[in-house]
């Protein structure tokens, strides 16, 4: 690490939790047939996107390339960048067309990318 204090472990949990909470709220609004009740879901996705940006930048600052293999670190950074881009698309679609087939595809892709990022981060910490 560049500094002895890293905010990445504290911030990195928020995008995952807010993504899944936002998608759960979207699912509940769709299930109840209340298509206008997506405001809380969109707010969660907005906060999750901001947290993802903060996690990305704090991760880039706090990375220690000497203690991990470069392939593992760059893999995690790649998944994290992909999640952030897909998060932005999911956020946009949650405000405009939250239940379209394109939006559902983006939500699924963002979820899978998030799981890959979480798993690669887990491997960095516990391997």
Domain boundaries, the chain: 8-126
Q: Is it the case that residue 1 has pLDDT exceeding 50?
A: no
The predicted-structure confidence for 83-113, as pLDDT tens digits, reads as follows: 999 999 999 999 999 999 999 999 999 999 9
The reported pTM is 0.89
Task: Answer whether 83's CB lies under 8 Å from 110's CB.
Answer: yes
CA angle 89/98/95 to nearest 5° reads 65
The predicted-structure confidence for 9-28, as pLDDT tens digits, reads as follows: 899 999 999 999 999 999 99
């Amino acid at each position: 690490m560049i500094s002895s204090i890293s905010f990445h472990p504290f911030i990195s949990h928020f995008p995952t939790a807010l993504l899944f909470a936002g998608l759960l709220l979207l699912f509940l609004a769709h299930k109840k047939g209340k298509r206008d009740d997506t405001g809380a879901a969109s707010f969660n996705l907005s906060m999750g996107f901001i947290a993802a940006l903060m996690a990305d930048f704090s991760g880039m600052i706090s990375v220690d390339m000497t203690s991990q293999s470069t392939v593992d670190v760059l893999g995690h950074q790649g998944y994290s960048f992909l999640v952030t881009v897909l998060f932005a698309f999911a956020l946009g679609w949650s405000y405009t067309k939250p239940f379209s087939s394109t939006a559902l595809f983006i939500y699924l892709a963002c979820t899978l990318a998030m799981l890959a990022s979480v798993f690669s981060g887990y491997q960095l910490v516990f391997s």
